Amino acid sequence: MLTAMLFAAGIATTIATGGGGSGSQPPPPPPPAMLAITADNALDVSTVLVVGIGMSFDIGEITGTDVGGAAAASPRLLKLMRVADLPSKPFPNGSAKLESCFLDGTVDVTGTFADPNTLTVGDRIIAVFTDCDDGDGFVISGTVDLTVSAVQGNIMTEVFLLGFDVLLTDVEIVEGTSVILVEGEFAMTLDSLAFPVISQRIAGTELSLAVGAESINFSGLDHFIEVDLGLMPEEILATVSGRMGGDLIGGFVDYETTVGIQAVGDNEPYTGEILVTGAANSSVRIVINDSTSVTLEVDTNGDNVVDQFIDTNWAELNGNTSTINASTAPVIAREVIHAVTGFGSVAITPGSQFVSMAPFGLIKLQAVSGDFGPTDVNCAAAGTAAVSGTIASAGTFSAGDLLTAAFTSCARAGEVLDGSLDVAIATYDELPGDAYLLTATVTETGLARNAGGNTYTGDGVIDVSHDYRYTSQGFTYLNATATSFTVGQGGVDRLLSGASVYGEIMASAPPVTIVRSSSGSVSSPAIDGDYVYQSVTPDTFVFDADPATGPVSGALQVTASDGSILTIVAIDDLNVRLEVDYDGNGFADTMIDTTWAALQ
C-alpha cells in the first residue's frame, strides 16, 4: 500500500512539475521589454508585423477554412479532419482513423462526438499529421487539437457558424523551401451565416511562429478577416489587434487597426491603418495609401507628433526585397532561365509517356486493366520503367485512371529519365494513329530529365494538358500549370509559384522546334526575394544536345518587387542580351550582351 502511494505521489509530482527537466533549455530569460520604436527599426517592426499577421491568417486557413476563396461550402477544416463525409461515415466515439493524405503522408484522426452524424458543442477532434500532403501546396506535420465551442446552421451547407478552441502542438508546415513551426492556443470562429459574406476570427492566448531560428510570438491576439464572396472580385476587410514579440524584433509591441484594412481580390490592401505602439508610447502608424504604396508615420518620443515619414511598398512590407541591377542581372537571368527551361522540360515528360513506344503507351498496348503492376517495361533506347496503377478499360485510358512510372535510366527520343511520376488522368481522348489529348494531374517526385545536354529535376504537382492529336501537321501542344513547384539543376533548387508554360512542339522532322511562353515567379538560394517572369515574345527553341545554346528568338521579362525590370532578349542560339530597367519606367538603363553559355 505504502509503495503504491509512493508511486502515485511520484507520478503526480512528475506531472505537476511538467516532467522534471526543462528540456535542456536554459532558465527562462527575463520577460522581453517593450520595444522602443525608432526611425531605424520602424520598417523592420512593420515588416515583421505584416508578415506575421499574414502568416496567422495562413495558419487559420490551413487549420480552418479558405475564407479568401469560394471554399466556404467545403471548409478545409473538415477536409483536413477527414470528417467532411460524416453523414456517410459515422465516426465512432474514441476511435482512431489513420488515413493517407491525398498525395503523401498520413493523418491520424481521433474524435469524440456527441452525435456521430454532425458536430456538436464539446465534440473534440485530434488530428496528428505526419508529412501530410493533400496537394494544397504545403506539407503539414504535428498535432491539431480542436474542441467545438459553437455550432449554428448546417455545416454541410454554405450557411453555418463554427467555433473551435484550437491547440496546435509542434505543427510544422513546409511550403517549398520554407519551413514554419507553429505552436498556438486560440479560439477560431468560422462564420458564413451571412453568406456570401464569410469571416474568420482568430482570438486567443498565444500563437508562436518560427522560421529557422527566428520567431514571432503573438499574445492576446484578435485577428479578424471578412470576405464578401458576392462581389467579383471579392472584397476583403480585416482588423487586427494584440501584442507581438519575438527575437526578430527584440522586444514586444502592441498593435491595433485604427482604420479597417480593405482589399479587393488577390491584390494587396488599398486602405487601412495599423497603429503599432512600443515603449514610452513610441509608435509607428502603418498607413496604407493604395495597393502598392504604404507610408510609415513614426513617432519616436510618444508626443503624438510624427517625427519621420517612411515611404515603402507592399513588396517590402511582405519581406520581398528583390531588386535588379547591373551586377545582379546575370545571376537573376540564369536562375530564371533555369526555372523556365526546367519547368518546361519536366512538364513535357508526362504527356509524352503515352505514345506507343513510351512506358504508358506500351502498357496500353498490353491491354492491361484493373489494378496492375508494377510491371517493368523496356524503354525505347535503354533502361526500364516500372509501371503500376489502375486502368478502368483495357486498351485505352479514361478519366480516373491512375498511373505510376518509376524510371531507371529510361532513354528515348533524346531524353533520359530517372525518378518517378504519378498521373491521375482527368480526360483522355484517343484518335487513330497514336494520337490523343490528355489532361491530367501529375505528381513528380525527384523526376530527373536529361535532355539537350542539361539535367533538370522536378518535384511537385502539375496540371497538364498535352495535345498529341496532330491537329496541325507535325505539331503537339503542351499546357502546364503548377501552384508550387521545385526545379532542380546543378545542385540548386528553384521554387516556382504560379508557374505556367504553353508550348508548341514541332517534332515531325528533326530538329525538334519548341515555341514556348512562360509565366510565374521564382526564388532560389542564389537570389534575394521573388522575381515575377512573363514571356513578352515566345521563345523559339531549336532543340539540340548542346547546353551552350539557347532560344534563337524571344523575350522574357523579369520584374523585381521594387519595380526594377530585366528583359532577357534572345539574339540567336548563342547570344543573348540583358536589358536592365532600374526604375521600371520602360526604358532600359543598362544593356549587357552575353552568351547563353555564360548564363548556364
Partner 1 sequence: MTVKVRSASQICFACLRAGDGVFASITTEWRNRRTAASALLVSAVLAFVIGTGVYFLDRSWSSVLFLAPLADWQPGSIGLFGQFGNSLPSLAHAYAFALLVIVALGPWRWARPAGALSWLLVACGLECLQSPAFRATFAPVYSVSANLADGGPFFDFMMNGRFDAVDLAATVAGVLAAYAVSSVLETQQ
Residue 92 CB coordination number (10 Å): 12
- Residues 479-538 touching partner 1, rule: CB under 8 A, are none
Nearest approach in angstroms of CB 152 to partner 1 is 20
- Residue labelled with grid coordinates 491520424: 108
Sign of CA dihedral 236, 239, 243, 249: positive
Decide: is 11 part of the binding site for partner 1 (CB under 8 A). Answer: yes
Q: Which is nearer to partner 1, 146 or 440 (CB)?
A: 146
Could you tell me the CA-to-CA distances from 83 to 125, 167, 568 in Å, in that order? 10, 18, 50
Nearest approach in angstroms of CB 7 to partner 1 is 6
Please give the distance of CA 156 from its chain centroid, rounded to a whole number.
27
Decide: is 399 part of the binding site for partner 1 (CB under 8 A). Answer: no
Interface map 49-88 toward partner 1 (x if CB under 8 A): ----------------------------------------
Stretch that binds partner 1, among 126-134, 223-231, 294-302, 385-393 (CB under 8 A): 126-134
3-class secondary structure, 1: coil
Decide: is 21 part of the binding site for partner 1 (CB under 8 A). Answer: yes
3-class secondary structure, 403: strand
Q: Which is nearer to partner 1, 18 or 586 (CB)?
A: 18
Backbone φ and ψ for 140, nearest 5 degrees, come out as: -120, 140
Asked whether 401 and 416 are in contact (CB, 8 A), the reply is no
Closest CA to 532 of 565, 503, 555, 501: 565
Name the burial class of residue 407, with classes exposed (0-12), middle (13-18) and buried (19+) by CB atoms within 10 angstroms of its CB. Answer: buried
Stretch that binds partner 1, among 8-16, 42-50, 384-392, 567-575 (CB under 8 A): 8-16
Query: Could you tell me what percentage of the chain is helix, strand and coil, using 3-state DSSP and rounding each to the nearest 5?
Result: 15, 50, 35
Nearest approach in angstroms of CB 21 to partner 1 is 3
Decide: is 128 part of the binding site for partner 1 (CB under 8 A). Answer: yes
Decide: is 33 part of the binding site for partner 1 (CB under 8 A). Answer: no
Decide: is 16 part of the binding site for partner 1 (CB under 8 A). Answer: yes
- Cα distance between residue 359 and residue 380, in whole Å: 9
Nearest approach in angstroms of CB 26 to partner 1 is 7
Name the burial class of residue 117, with classes exposed (0-12), middle (13-18) and buried (19+) by CB atoms within 10 angstroms of its CB. Answer: exposed
Sign of CA dihedral 153, 155, 160, 165: positive
Stretch that binds partner 1, among 166-174, 272-280, 298-306, 386-394 (CB under 8 A): 166-174
Q: Which is nearer to partner 1, 90 or 563 (CB)?
A: 90
Nearest approach in angstroms of CB 417 to partner 1 is 37
Sign of CA dihedral 391, 397, 400, 402: positive
Decide: is 219 part of the binding site for partner 1 (CB under 8 A). Answer: no
Nearest approach in angstroms of CB 213 to partner 1 is 17
Count of alpha carbons within 13 Å of 165, Cβ hemisphere only? 8
Stretch that binds partner 1, among 10-18, 71-79, 308-316, 421-429 (CB under 8 A): 10-18
Nearest approach in angstroms of CB 235 to partner 1 is 37
By CB under 8 A, name the one of 19, 212, 491, 586 that touches partner 1.
19
By CB under 8 A, name the one of 23, 212, 491, 586 that touches partner 1.
23
Closest CA to 351 of 220, 507, 203, 139: 507
Decide: is 205 part of the binding site for partner 1 (CB under 8 A). Answer: no
Stretch that binds partner 1, among 3-11, 283-291, 377-385, 456-464 (CB under 8 A): 3-11
Q: Which is nearer to partner 1, 97 or 577 (CB)?
A: 97
Asked whether 196 and 174 are in contact (CB, 8 A), the reply is no
Q: Which is nearer to partner 1, 94 or 491 (CB)?
A: 94
Interface map 85-124 toward partner 1 (x if CB under 8 A): --------xx-x-----------x-xxx---------x-x
Stretch that binds partner 1, among 22-30, 355-363, 370-378, 429-437 (CB under 8 A): 22-30
Q: Which is nearer to partner 1, 112 or 262 (CB)?
A: 112
Decide: is 463 part of the binding site for partner 1 (CB under 8 A). Answer: no
- Cα distance between residue 261 and residue 258, in whole Å: 9
Decide: is 305 part of the binding site for partner 1 (CB under 8 A). Answer: no
By CB under 8 A, name the one of 74, 169, 388, 445 that touches partner 1.
169
Please give the distance of CA 231 from its chain centroid, rounded to a whole number.
26
Decide: is 126 part of the binding site for partner 1 (CB under 8 A). Answer: yes
Decide: is 182 part of the binding site for partner 1 (CB under 8 A). Answer: no
- Cα distance between residue 8 and residue 6, in whole Å: 5
Decide: is 22 part of the binding site for partner 1 (CB under 8 A). Answer: yes
DSSP string across 542-600: E--S-TT---SEEEEEEE-TTS-EEEEEE-SSSEEEEEEETT-SSS-SEEEEEETGGG-
3-class secondary structure, 361: helix
Nearest approach in angstroms of CB 175 to partner 1 is 21
DSSP string across 505-541: EE-SSSSPEEEEEEEEEEEETTEEEEEEEEEEEEEEE
Q: What are the cell numbers at 344? A: 518546361
Q: Which is nearer to partner 1, 130 or 271 (CB)?
A: 130
Number of residues counted as binding partner 1 (CB under 8 A): 42
Decide: is 13 part of the binding site for partner 1 (CB under 8 A). Answer: yes
Q: Which is nearer to partner 1, 122 or 474 (CB)?
A: 122
Name the burial class of residue 367, with classes exposed (0-12), middle (13-18) and buried (19+) by CB atoms within 10 angstroms of its CB. Answer: exposed
- Residues 129-158 touching partner 1, rule: CB under 8 A, are 130, 143, 145, 147
Decide: is 474 part of the binding site for partner 1 (CB under 8 A). Answer: no
Interface residues toward partner 1, by CB under 8 A: 2-3, 6-7, 9-11, 13-28, 30, 93-94, 96, 108, 110-112, 122, 124, 126, 128, 130, 143, 145, 147, 167, 169-170
